[in-house]
Chain A
Amino acid sequence: MEKRKSKLNRNNWFDYLNIAFMIIFCFITLFPLWAVLVGSFNQGLDYTFGGVYFWPRVWTLDNYYMVIADEAIWRGYIVTIGRTLLGTVTSVLFTSVVAFGMSNKLLKCRKIYYWFMMVTMFFGGGIIPYFVLLKTIGLLNNFMVYIIPSLFSVYNMIVLMTFFSQIPESLAEFARLDGAGEYRILFSIILPLSKPILATVALWSIVGHWNSYMDAMYYVTDPDLYPLQYVLMRIINKSTVPTTGIGGGTLPPGILETVTAKTISFAAIIVSTVPVLVCYPFLQKHFASGATAGAIKE
């Protein structure tokens, strides 16, 4: 075990302090998640007495029964999965098409187009005129309000454009000589070569769609269109046990006497977070490339 280490590799007090700090940091980061998980398995009435932090005191699955019986959660799941899948696929495709067009250095007025789009990253009409626009074109209370306004992002376009323009020009040139159209070149040559950056942009989009609740809060009033996060926010803010949307027949008898709104909301948080935690390890390899992609300047 004990090897001779160079001066650079020997631990001194700074290292121990650093390690201690990191352990505390990790604890602070993970403990809230753990506390909610523990609370979700604890009986509601018992939880109100306090002291349930590290392990459930009175085990129960009642909170999960309540959550699973709540139709709003499932509808929220469907809306969220729908908008995440459709929203990500359409926005990555749409943004790629524009980025490919912009990556062509022979494009006329390229600088003008570039600035026309760039300016919108810093100046805009603000949220109210935007709201009025959505209202006028009929996107309020419409599932498409989750999809259409996020079809295109100037930032993502620049990231993709930068990547596309690093692909050797000759590849596209040869295809053009063989008579391939621009869309054909994009879909059969450029996109297959750009998988890492596409994965990165898709990851941003997925995280954004999955976690968004503001658009539902302000642009949607129809409960059938509420995404999971907004349903969750309403459950957390509710102080009473939800009695609507619960299939009474499927609940074990006496359950309503011991569950509380709080522990139900814990179970709801866990139910909505499980997909993120399951996918998290698989997404990890895209992290570093993802965060640095935005730093590339033209």
Chain B
Amino acid sequence: MVWLGILFVAIFCYVPMFGIILAFKDESARQIDVMKIIFEADFVGFENFELFLADSESKNVIWNTLGLNSLMMLINFPSPILFAILISELKKPTFKRTVQTISYLPHFLSWVVFGGMVLTLINTDTGALNDFLLRLGLIKKPLEIAGDPDAFWGLIIITSLIKGVGWGSIIYLAAISGVSRDLYEAAEIDGANRFQRILHVTLPGIAPSIVTFLLLSTSGILNSSVEHILVFQNPDNISKSQVIDTMVLQYGIQKGNYQYATAIGVFKSVISCFLLIGSNFISKKLTGKGLY
């Protein structure tokens, strides 16, 4: 029974690892049949990597990836925790359930659908957002949000928040409901107000889960949600919207430059690998718990 899983993992996860060899093959060898490149093209050592690191486009792409993902971690990581605390502080059960139901809904919509809705909302000529801001007098003329490179990161962060904050809060809500009621009552008797209770009872209660998830997300700082980014990416905002993952797909699958694209992918994996080992080490020092 287990052999089925071993076989699957061997074919779909371990075999592609040998494909990394593509990263060290001559970039100018173009063949429809990739196997020919793997077996026949010349080895060029780290030339593809040097090419990638020397390119000015790559610097921009690395900067985009790091910048966008760091901001995402800074904002999108704590938000579900805060949201869970706010939800747990709601007193009316029916209102609480309604808010939860509504906040989970976007998780079940695809990025195509949700992105399509957001693009409708922010449309320059017909979108409700521009009209609203114009009427409030906050802006003089309609904003071109979808085509503005400087608006792209904000757009990604906000849409990611709206789509994911509710769903992300479930796990913390479960952790909060695991915190003993006695602790809250004891804190209240001791004269703790609302914020002191949150700070000294709720947060320490869910701290272990927070550390574990933070750890998981640190090693993914170079990973982007491609399904999300591609929906909002367009030629106008490409200078801010191109990240490593979308660049790999563009060079590899659209342009057919497998060697260069693989090299970019390997570059990313190696850094992620170090980050994972590093963050695991730090977590073990700090909390005594790690991934492995």
- Please list the residues of chain A having a beta carbon within 8 angstroms of any beta carbon in chain B: 7-9, 11-12, 14-15, 18-19, 21-22, 25-26, 28-33, 35-36, 39, 47-53, 94-95, 97-98, 100-102, 107, 113, 116-117, 120, 122-133, 135-136, 149, 151-152, 154, 157, 182-183, 186, 207, 210-214, 217-218, 229-230, 232-233, 236, 262, 265-266, 269, 272-273, 276, 280, 283-284, 287-288, 291-292, 294-295
Within 8 Å by CB of B90, from A19, A51, A116, lies A19
A210 touches B120 (CB 8 A): no
A284 touches B101 (CB 8 A): yes
B91 touches A32 (CB 8 A): no
Judged by a CB distance under 8 angstroms, whether B180 is at the interface is: no
| Residues in chain B near residue A262, CB distance under 8 A | 126
When chains A and B are docked, how far (Å) is the Cα of A136 from the Cα of B11? Answer: 12
Q: Which stretch, B49-57, B59-67, B68-76, B259-267, touches the partner chain A?
A: B259-267
Task: List 6 contacting pairs A-B, 8 Å CB cutoff, sorted by A.
Answer: A29-B106, A50-B125, A98-B5, A127-B252, A262-B126, A288-B173
Judged by a CB distance under 8 angstroms, whether B214 is at the interface is: no
For the complex formed, measure the closest distance between the CB of A109 and the CB atoms of chain B, giving whole angstroms. 9
B273 touches A29 (CB 8 A): no
Q: Per-residue CB proximity of B2-26 to A under 8 Å, as 1/0?
A: 1011101101111111111010000
| Residues in chain A near residue B112, CB distance under 8 A | 211, 213, 229-230, 232-233, 236
B113 touches A272 (CB 8 A): yes
Q: Which A residue sits closest to B13, measured CB to CB?
A: A120
B249 touches A132 (CB 8 A): no
Q: Which of B109, B230, B268 has the most CB of A within 10 A?
A: B109
Within 8 Å by CB of A101, from B2, B104, B166, lies B2
Q: Which A residue sits closest to B106, measured CB to CB?
A: A29
When chains A and B are docked, how far (Å) is the Cα of A30 from the Cα of B103? Answer: 9
Judged by a CB distance under 8 angstroms, whether B27 is at the interface is: no
Within 8 Å by CB of A273, from B34, B113, B126, B209, lies B113
A113 touches B125 (CB 8 A): no
A211 touches B248 (CB 8 A): no
A276 touches B106 (CB 8 A): no
Q: How many residues of B contact A (CB 8 A)?
A: 84
B116 touches A98 (CB 8 A): no
A22 touches B4 (CB 8 A): no
B20 touches A48 (CB 8 A): no
Judged by a CB distance under 8 angstroms, whether B144 is at the interface is: no
For the complex formed, measure the closest distance between the CB of B13 and the CB atoms of chain A, giving whole angstroms. 4
Main secondary structure of the interface of A (DSSP, over half): helix
User: Can you name 11 extra interface pairs (CB under 8 A) apart from A22-B95, A236-B116?
Assistant: A125-B15, A126-B262, A128-B252, A132-B16, A132-B34, A132-B38, A186-B1, A272-B113, A280-B108, A292-B170, A295-B174
A291 touches B2 (CB 8 A): no
When chains A and B are docked, how far (Å) is the Cα of A12 from the Cα of B131? Answer: 35
Judged by a CB distance under 8 angstroms, whether B167 is at the interface is: yes
B16 touches A129 (CB 8 A): yes
A123 touches B17 (CB 8 A): yes
For the complex formed, measure the closest distance between the CB of B277 and the CB atoms of chain A, giving whole angstroms. 10
B194 touches A218 (CB 8 A): no
For the complex formed, measure the closest distance between the CB of B180 and the CB atoms of chain A, giving whole angstroms. 15
| Residues in chain B near residue A28, CB distance under 8 A | 162
When chains A and B are docked, how far (Å) is the Cα of A35 from the Cα of B126? Answer: 11
When chains A and B are docked, how far (Å) is the Cα of A47 from the Cα of B120? Answer: 11
When chains A and B are docked, how far (Å) is the Cα of A130 from the Cα of B99? Answer: 41
Judged by a CB distance under 8 angstroms, whether B86 is at the interface is: yes
Chain B, range 148-166, C-beta contacts under 8 Å to A? 162, 166
Q: A100-B1, A288-B174 are in contact. Are A295 and B209 (CB under 8 A)?
A: yes
For the complex formed, measure the closest distance between the CB of B158 and the CB atoms of chain A, giving whole angstroms. 9
Q: Which B residue sits closest to A268, measured CB to CB?
A: B116
A131 touches B17 (CB 8 A): no
A291 touches B19 (CB 8 A): no
B126 touches A52 (CB 8 A): yes
Q: Which of B125, B126, B227 has the most CB of A within 10 A?
A: B126
Q: Per-residue CB proximity of B93-124 to A under 8 Å, as 1/0?
A: 00100110111111111111110111111000
B4 touches A276 (CB 8 A): no
For the complex formed, measure the closest distance between the CB of B123 and the CB atoms of chain A, giving whole angstroms. 8
For the complex formed, measure the closest distance between the CB of A269 and the CB atoms of chain B, giving whole angstroms. 5
For the complex formed, measure the closest distance between the CB of B131 and the CB atoms of chain A, giving whole angstroms. 7
Q: A8-B188, A124-B13, A154-B9 are in contact. Are A32 and B117 (CB under 8 A)?
A: yes
Judged by a CB distance under 8 angstroms, whether B201 is at the interface is: no
| Residues in chain B near residue A157, CB distance under 8 A | 5
A136 touches B117 (CB 8 A): no
For the complex formed, measure the closest distance between the CB of A114 and the CB atoms of chain B, giving whole angstroms. 10
Q: A29-B105, A129-B17 are in contact. Are A265 and B248 (CB under 8 A)?
A: no
| Residues in chain B near residue A32, CB distance under 8 A | 114, 117-118, 120-121
B8 touches A35 (CB 8 A): no
When chains A and B are docked, how far (Å) is the Cα of A36 from the Cα of B120? Answer: 7
For the complex formed, measure the closest distance between the CB of B82 and the CB atoms of chain A, giving whole angstroms. 10
Chain B, range 182-229, C-beta contacts under 8 Å to A? 184, 188, 194, 209, 212, 219, 226-227
B117 touches A149 (CB 8 A): no
When chains A and B are docked, how far (Å) is the Cα of A212 from the Cα of B110? Answer: 7
When chains A and B are docked, how far (Å) is the Cα of A11 from the Cα of B194? Answer: 11
When chains A and B are docked, how far (Å) is the Cα of A256 from the Cα of B98? Answer: 41
Q: Which B residue sits closest to A110, measured CB to CB?
A: B2
